Each structure stands twice: as C-alpha cells, then as structure tokens.
Structure 1
Amino acid sequence: MLGTWSDQARVCWGKVGESGRWLLVVQHLEDSTGIMAGLWQFQPSGPCYSSGLRGEETARAFEGFIAGKYDAGKISLQFAH
C-alpha cells in the first residue's frame, strides 16, 4: 500500500531501528495496522464490542485504525525537532 500515499506523506520518518536505518512513518502505520489485524483472533473481547460497532468487520477496521493512528503524531514539526 505504500504506493497509495502522497509524496508528502512518504518523506516523514517514523522510527529508527537498532541498525540505525529509518523507517517511513507510513510504513510504520501500515505495519501497526497489520499487526492488529493479525492479533484480532486472539482477543477475547472481540465479539463483545463487535456488536457495538455493527459487526466484526467494522470492529476490526476500527481497531486497525486506532493502532495506526497511535503514531500519527510523528507527522508534526514538534516530533521532527
């Protein structure tokens, strides 16, 4: 999905690993979202809040959004400094 992001979004860094190489923030957001999608099956409360969010598909999408949104603050001048 990296090809769907704007040029502006693809210049922001999000994380530096132990190797010293940096990772684009959009890649980090996609990774976080993907990990949450994979963890969904292990969540005992999934069915509990699925009904409140009009079904499992919507609940999964919402959880993925929240996981990705967590690092969205990295796209700010304050974080860059």
Structure 2
Amino acid sequence: MLATPLLRLLEKQELTGYDIKKIFEDEIGEFWRSNHSQIYPELRKLEEQKLISFRLEIVGSKLEKKYYTLMDDGKAKLNEWIFVPT
C-alpha cells in the first residue's frame, strides 16, 4: 500500500510529487520501490479522500507545482495504520 509511506513522508514536511519521487529513488528505494506512474495517482486518491491537500505555485511563466501537505484526517489515518494491530 503506497498510501502509508506517502502519508509518512508528508507528515514531516510539505513536498511536491517530484520531491517524493526523488526520496523514493535516493533514500527509501532499498526498502520500497515506486515510480512516477504510481505516485501521482495515489496522491490524487489521497487528496480525494481529504487525507492530504495541496497548494499550487507557479514557477516561471507556466510551470505549476503542487505542494502536498498532510491534513488532520491524514494524520489520524496514519496513526491508525501505525498503532492499530493488523
């Protein structure tokens, strides 16, 4: 389940999809593999579930960057996954 590591990353700081992709490649790739085609749809799902939100920033004249952040419901869901036995 990709949602858990995404929420965990966003718990620490606001990140773009590109930032998340780089973290997977550079830092947690040994433990968890994910690629561009998996990350962005999962971010969209988490946003639809109101677990994360984003702010849009325009870079240059056209480039839009979405900065994702964890919402209160996302924090609660993350705590549920961490603390509730499976």
TM-score by length of 1: 0.30
TM-score by length of 2: 0.28
Q: Select the structure of larger CA radius of gyration.
A: 1
Flag the structure with higher helix content. 1
